[in-house]
Each structure stands twice: as C-alpha cells, then as structure tokens.
C-alpha cells in the first residue's frame, strides 16, 4: 500500500491522448473506486483567480486571454504542443498545484480505493503515490478518429498532439496493468473487472463493493406491468451496474413508448460515460436517472419515469441517492436538467430540495459554466444546487 496513504489503495491510470483513460476511470468508479481526473484539475489550476492563473499569464503574455479575462486553453495548448520549452514552463507551474489538489482529494476521500487519471502520471510524483499503474492503449488510427470526432481537431492538429507524446510502448513497459481500449466497451469492461479482481487486495474490494443488483425476472414480459401507485408504495434507490444493462434498455423502451429503443450494448456504452441510479418498487424499475461527476461537478442529464408512479416521489428518492453519492465524491455543486414540461409539473419539489433555475452564464466558476454548457440537453431547464462552500484550487 501507499506509504503516504496506508489505508488506501491508489490506482494510477495513464496513457496517451484519446486512448480512453476516462472510460477506464469511470469503469473503476462503477466498481466502487473514487475517481480523480488530474487533467481537469490542471484546467482548474489556471482558471481566473486560481493559483496558477497569474504565473501563466506572466510567463506567456496577455495574448492568451479571452475578453472575459479567462485563459484561452485552446490558444495556450496550440503554443505548448508546438514548443517543448513552452510545455516545460507550463508544467513547472501547473504540476505542483495539481499534485497538491490530488493529495487534498485523496486525503478527504471516504472510499479506500482511489483511481487517479493523469496523462503525465509517470512523469510526476503520482507515479510514486500509485500502488498499481494502469496504462490504457489504442491504435493511432483510433486516436486520430477520436480527436477529430470528439474534439473537433483537423487531421494535422490531431497528428501533432499524438506525435508530441511519449510512445505508448514506453508507458506499457512501466505498467502493472495494460488495458486495450480499441474494441467495444464490453471488451474493455471485462479487462477492467479482471484486473480489479487480480490487482486490488480483497479487503479493499469488499470495502467498496456496490450493493448487488436486483435479479431480473427469469422471463421478462414484453411490456412489464406497472406497480400499483399507492401512497404506501416503498421506493428504493441504488446505483445500477453494467449487469443491469438489459433491464435498463427494456425500461427506457417501455417508458418512451418505443421512441427510444436502446440495446444492451447501447447501455453498456453509456456506462462508459455516466452512472445510473434506478428506483425500484417491489423489484420493478419505476425510475432511472443518468448522472456523472466530472471535475467536482455532479450533473443529472437523463430522467426516465414510469407514468403510473408518482413522479415527484420517484424523483425525490433518486435525487436523494445521487446527492449522497455526489457529496461522497466531494462534488461542489449539483446540476440537474429536467425537461421544461417536467419542471413545470414539479416546480414545488425542486424548490423544496434547494434547487434554483439558473443560466450557465450566471454560474460563478469557469468549471461550473463549462460543465453546464457541455451537459445541458436541448429543451431542458438548468437547475443549480450548491453542495459545499470550499473550493479546490479556487483558491487552494
């Protein structure tokens, strides 16, 4: 175990750009680990009023600033990825701040297994902090496709990013575990589960094991009957696991009346991006909310509610579970995106739970605004709730 945190088991996740490090981190979170994205912390470190902001502006000049005074990260990235000396100067500013923030989060984490994702893990103290180093790999062709499709880069820009990094072979030589993320998500999930069971000591696995999934009926009917909506209906919320994928797909198809017909594989793919909380009554799913915690911001972006069960009761049960999870994951805020119709029907519930309608531009921190802008589905209302007052890296 880590000498610095003898009561915790630290998994360090690294790999080159666009290989799927975040997917592997989220899979470890599904297994019960507390995830930290060090690269997002690097973004926070240079936000306006954060401790890295002034040193970066002094080093590279005010030309990297947007009109609102925030650092234009795309402009800065273009500079440092084309100039190794500029990259070195930036890392000298940012890395100590990120390490301090990671140590702060690890120390406060309630879960004993920590998964730290960092592209520069092997080049910093994070390597020594890690009990097990996991390297994620993918083919250069896939890296290129992902950079162009997901980040909007042109081909030459994407190639520049790929070539600027240490060859994958050098990283795999230093790995305890190598995850090949170049097929479907189920293939990746099987590798992660096998490595988890092999590498993480049993006492840590037991300490973070999620609640077991409810067994699916031996033969599910084509259209499951709704449970009776009665005041004494007992609702229970739990975090779903990839084992629930088929049941979740069937429930979504049911409540959307076939407008959405995800397959089991579709749901497994979504698990690479988010978590799901299911609400059950008498063993049947009556509600499903999709959510994620990224960059210390919890956000609920999917809501599926059975039409014959009181929606306010289902929402409150699910949100109580998600809020508890978000607080355990040290989230600063909750962002929830109900449809406009659902918001109008349940306005009193949101007020009672402490949510207020906001616009992304009204949020105080850059990380919060970016999370809201990136996550808000069309036709939804942004609801905001603060979970704690202290901030990581704002100021440190």
- Model confidence over 65-118: pLDDT tens digits? 999 999 999 999 999 988 999 999 999 999 999 999 999 999 999 999 999 999
pLDDT of residue 223 exceeding 60: no
> What mean pLDDT value characterizes the chain?
91
- pTM for the complete prediction? 0.88
CA distance 207 to 188: 24
- Determine the pLDDT at residue 66: 96
pLDDT band at 358 (very low <50, low <70, confident <90, very high): very high
Domains and CATH numbers, the chain: 9-208 (3.40.50.300), 236-386 (3.40.630.30)
- Determine the pLDDT at residue 391: 73
CA distance 234 to 282: 8
Number of Cβ within a 10 Å radius of residue 181 = 23
pLDDT tens for each residue of 142-153? 989 989 988 888
- Determine the pLDDT at residue 393: 65
The residue whose two tokens read 């994070």 is 126
CA distance 396 to 305: 41
Q: Output b/e per residue, 147-163; b: 16+ Cβ within 10 A.
A: beeeeebeeebbeebbe
- Determine the pLDDT at residue 205: 96
On the question of a cis peptide bond just before residue 250, with omega within 30 degrees of 0, the verdict is no
Q: Is 274:230 a contact under the CB 8 Å cutoff? A: no
**β pairing state of 383-386 and 356-357:** antiparallel
């Amino acid at each position: 175990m880590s000498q610095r945190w003898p009561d915790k088991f630290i998994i360090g996740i690294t790999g080159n750009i666009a290989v799927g490090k975040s997917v592997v981190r989220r899979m470890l979170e599904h297994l019960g680990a507390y995830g930290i994205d060090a690269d997002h912390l690097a973004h926070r470190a240079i936000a306006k009023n954060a401790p890295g902001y002034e040193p970066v502006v002094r080093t590279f000049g005010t030309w990297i600033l947007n009109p609102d005074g925030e650092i234009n990260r795309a402009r800065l990235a273009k500079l440092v990825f084309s100039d190794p000396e500029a990259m070195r100067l930036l890392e000298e500013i940012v890395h100590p701040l990120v390490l301090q923030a990671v140590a702060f989060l690890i120390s406060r984490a309630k879960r004993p297994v920590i998964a730290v994702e960092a592209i520069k893990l092997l080049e910093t103290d994070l390597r020594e902090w890690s009990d097990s180093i996991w390297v994620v790999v993918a083919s250069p062709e896939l890296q290129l496709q992902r950079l162009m499709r997901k980040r909007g880069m042109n081909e030459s820009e994407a190639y520049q990013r790929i070539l600027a990094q240490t060859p994958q072979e050098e990283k795999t030589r230093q790995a305890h575990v190598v995850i090949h993320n170049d097929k479907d998500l189920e293939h990746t999930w099987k590798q992660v589960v096998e490595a988890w069971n092999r590498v993480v000591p049993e006492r840590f696995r037991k300490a973070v094991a999620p609640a077991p999934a409810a067994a699916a009926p031996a033969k599910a009917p084509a259209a499951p009957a709704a449970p009776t909506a009665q005041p004494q209906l007992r609702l229970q919320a739990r975090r779903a696991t990839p084992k629930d994928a088929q049941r979740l797909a069937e429930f979504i198809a049911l409540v959307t009346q076939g407008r959405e017909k995800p397959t089991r594989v579709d749901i497994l793919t979504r698990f690479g991006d988010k978590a799901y909380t299911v609400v059950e009554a008498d063993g049947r799913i009556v509600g499903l909310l999709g959510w994620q915690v990224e960059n210390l911001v919890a956000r609920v972006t999917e809501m599926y509610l059975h039409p014959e069960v009181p929606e306010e009761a289902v929402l409150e049960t699910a949100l109580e579970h998600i809020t508890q999870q978000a607080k355990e994951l040290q989230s600063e805020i909750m962002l929830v995106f109900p449809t406009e119709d659902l918001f109008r029907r349940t306005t009193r519930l949101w007020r009672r739970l402490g949510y207020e309608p906001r616009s992304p531009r009204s949020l105080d921190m850059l990380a919060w605004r970016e999370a809201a802008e990136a996550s808000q589905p069309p036709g939804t209302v942004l609801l905001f709730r603060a979970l704690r007052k202290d901030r990581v890296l704002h100021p440190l």
